[in-house]
Structure 1
């Protein structure tokens, strides 16, 4: 028999300390009543905080809901499936499962729980490289959401500078003069935008302001040194070459990449480089952009390679090109805005055949 007392005590400690004043944009978009939810994306964007905020709001003193993090050593010795089924026997109805990517064969356990219990499952995971390998098995059972880094609007909110309503891309195109007038009537955006580009994309900027870059480098190293070797056949000895690749992308000017030359510069084959780029995009370290294409053209190499956001660029090198930073910011925002709109082929943003 499992004693859940310690888990509820830890849960109470967490929800008492969790900030509740501001919530990420995705909180209001999630259909929380779904039977099984999976919230993913890069480390540090606020997934754990968000699910704990939901727990605090709806089940604060209710023992029918429980939060667990499966990176707890306890789960090295007990089956997640058995733990959850035992929780249901004792009146459990909602199970929040964090750090799911750290549990071996997690998709098998979630699938079995979905089929064998009536538990509502709210799951969070950071390593998209690991999650992507198993997520397809749950496509009919799980509703997935991806949480992007902070937008400039959210940065202003979290820093207590100003509160603005979100605007759609169509609204910006059709009414940009009025929107800009409302903003500059309240703040001087450029006075804050520079800081946002260097240290404003992640919520931990608030509690780790002085060590922000240190934490960003830690996220990069975790993805490269832990996630990639664990979830792929990439040997640890190759990680230094991938780090060199990221440095080159952080400091390059915004031109169409020559994949063969880029592969030679990091001493790997062209197919290997393309594979590395795929995993780096899964890990939310880079964004790729293609030109509009038809037929087999959609399978071609990327026409633009950019770091996932400008904060990562700045953490790696303070000499990032201004034009590259501008493009990285734009691509990041456009792709993030459409993260949770399902598509077979990603055509949210495409390069024009000519011009910028």
Structure 2
């Protein structure tokens, strides 16, 4: 156990202190089992270490970070390790990459019932469906989702300027006031292009080329999060990669043509729909449904999961409107629902069933009173006209 404590202390002393993510304030830390679910690369490991750094001294024996890919756990059971940890005064275990340990859910439950003084905080891939895979653990655990950086968090990380999050209600009903308040501190529009290129993932701070890191993350998502966790065959990797690329190349507002995609990757329509669901779980793709459609049906449109993915999937001049819509959907997706409006326009969406929102780079044609406009360029003194960057302050 001592070597694990040495690793824990080293990581706390040498891992760069990051921005406190907004999720840190949202979690009920009194829960005894807490799951942090998120897509690959968004900073789940850093989140665990940041929690330890904020609540315990590096040399404290009460808290321990462990990556469950440690070889010792091929022989030693997690349950017996936890028994020893608690016996020596341990109270908080931070467990990373739990899917690397077989039968982890059963041992978590045993630890829960055997050690009421113990808290377990673990990370899980976004594709892991704990609610279906183990309903008992899902009942015992509080599960939270860690999203990638918002535009607000990205600005704070790079500039050190602390900015408040805003509610969607305020964005939709009083955008001019919010813009005026934020303009006293900085001009967020100047940060938007940088965010669209490299702001969603925290590894833009690393010396390696961002696009190479992003490509590695995307491929690891497919090879580990999907093939390993979902138990898909290795031969399907090529089809998944081709499907993502084809969807990224579609012209703006293209309706999803499942038959065409099935022919292109040489599989069935049902398999294409399953792949899209898997990739949506992994946050690589973001399906958009019509307002009255069940999510079990075919989506009307499919966007990339976040705007940075255009760097590796459509690096040469992505359509500006599609890029901005991807940004808005991504920032809304943490807490809000968005659907394609049945009113005909392919860039008109219904948000939380309350607001009609048209998302464009700039508006061609006249303003209509029945909707709000999210624009990169426009007359923001007009009623219901919102600068698109403001959606980046929702969390």
Partner of residue 51, structure 1: 48
> Which residue of 306, 309, 325 corresponds with 1:309?
306
1:269–1:132 Cα change, 3 Å: farther
Q: Deviations over 1:285-316 (max 9, x none)?
A: 1111211226xx55321112111001112222
Moved more, 172-181 or 154-163: 154-163
2:123 maps to 124
**Residue pair 1:198, 1:314 contacting (<8 A) in 2 also:** yes
2:64 alignment partner, SS class: strand
Output one character per residue of 1:142-177: Cα deviation in whole Å (capped at 9) or x when no partner.
000000011111110111163310001001112100
Contact 1:254 1:323 in 2 (8 A): no
Instruction: Kindly indicate whether residue 177 of structure 2 is the aligned counterpart of residue 178 of structure 1.
Output: yes
1:247-285: CA deviation from partner (whole Å, max 9, x where unpaired): 122222232211222222222110000110111011111
Partner of 2:3: 6
1:40 aligned onto 2:37: yes
Q: Is the partner of 1:33 in helix, strand or coil?
A: coil
Distance 1:233 1:103 in 2: 15
**Residues 1:130 and 1:228: Cα distance change in structure 2 (over 3 Å):** farther
Aligned-partner Cα distance in 1 for 2:129–2:103: 10
Q: 1:275 to 1:52 in 2, by over 3 A?
A: same
Q: Is the 8 A contact 1:251 1:321 kept in 2?
A: no
Higher helix share: 1
Secondary structure in structure 2 of the residue aligned to 1:157:
helix
d(CA) in 2 for partners of 1:149 and 1:316? 18
Aligned equivalents of 1:316 and 1:256: distance in 2?
Answer: 19
Q: Secondary structure at the match of 1:256?
A: coil
Instruction: Confirm or deny that 1:191 pairs with 2:190.
Output: yes
CA distance in 1, matches of 2:224, 2:131: 15
What is the aligned partner in structure 1 of residue 357 from structure 2? none
Partner of 1:352: 341
Residues 212-291 of structure 1: matches in 2 within 5 Å?
212-252=210-250, 253-291=252-290
Q: How big is the alpha-carbon RMSD for the aligned residues of Structure 1 and Structure 2? A: 1.9
Moved over 6 A (4+): none
Aligned residues: 341
1:115 to 113, 116, 119: 113
C-alpha distance in structure 2 between counterparts of 1:199 and 1:135, whole Å: 36
Moved more, 132-141 or 75-84: 132-141
Structure 1 residue aligned with 2:79: 81
- CA distance 1:133–1:101, change in 2 (3 Å): farther
Quote the offset at 1:135 in angstroms: 4.7
